[in-house]
Amino acid sequence: MILRDPDALLDAAREGSRVALARLLTYAESGGPRQRATAHLAYQSPPSYVIGLTGPPGAGKSTLTDRLLTTGLAVGSLGTPLDELAVLCVDPSSPFTGGAILGDRIRMQEHATNEHVFIRSMATRGHLGGLSLAVPDALRVLGAAGFPVALVETVGVGQMEVEIASAADTTVVVTNPGWGDAMQANKAGLLEVADVFVINKADRAGVRETRRDLEQMLDLGGERAWRPPVLETTASSGDGVERLWDVLVEHRAFQEESGELAQRRRDRTRTELARVLVVAMRARVNDLSGTSRYEELVGDLVSGLVDPYSAADELLGDV
Ligand SMILES: Nc1nc2c(ncn2[C@@H]2O[C@H](COP(=O)(O)OP(=O)(O)O)[C@@H](O)[C@H]2O)c(=O)[nH]1
Ligand SMILES: [Mg+2]
> Ligand 1: distance of its center to the CA of 236 in Å?
7
Residue 236: per-residue pLDDT: 95
Residue 124: per-residue pLDDT: 63
Residue 45: per-residue pLDDT: 96
Per the domain annotation, does 267 fall within a domain? Answer: no
Closest-lying ligand 1 atom to the alpha carbon of residue 66: 15
pLDDT along the chain (319 residues), means of 10: 88 95 92 92 96 91 94 78 88 54 59 82 62 88 96 80 80 89 71 92 96 90 90 97 96 96 94 90 92 96 97 84
Is residue 241 lining ligand 1, measured as CB closer than 6 Å?
no
86 and 225 inside one domain:
yes
Is residue 203 lining ligand 1, measured as CB closer than 6 Å?
yes
Element containing residue 86 per DSSP (H, E)? strand 85-91
49 and 39 inside one domain:
no
Per the domain annotation, does 266 fall within a domain? Answer: no
Ion ligand 2, residue ranges at CB < 5 A: 61-62, 104
78 and 161 inside one domain:
yes
Those residues with Cβ within 8 angstroms of residue 3's Cβ, 6 or more apart along the chain or in another chain: 9, 12, 20, 23
**Which residue range forms the structural domain that includes residue 296?**
273-316
Hey, which of 108, 236, 241 would you mutate to test ligand 1's pocket, going by the most ligand atoms within 8 Å of its Cβ? 236
Residue 75: per-residue pLDDT: 85
94 and 223 inside one domain:
yes
Per the domain annotation, does 166 fall within a domain? Answer: yes
Per the domain annotation, does 33 fall within a domain? Answer: yes
Is residue 124 lining ligand 1, measured as CB closer than 6 Å?
no
Question: What is the number of domains present in the chain?
Answer: 3
Q: Tell how far CA 99 is from the center of its chain.
A: 19
Q: Are 152 and 49 in contact (CB under 8 A)?
A: no
Residue 126: per-residue pLDDT: 45
Q: Which ligand is nearest to the CA of 119?
A: 2
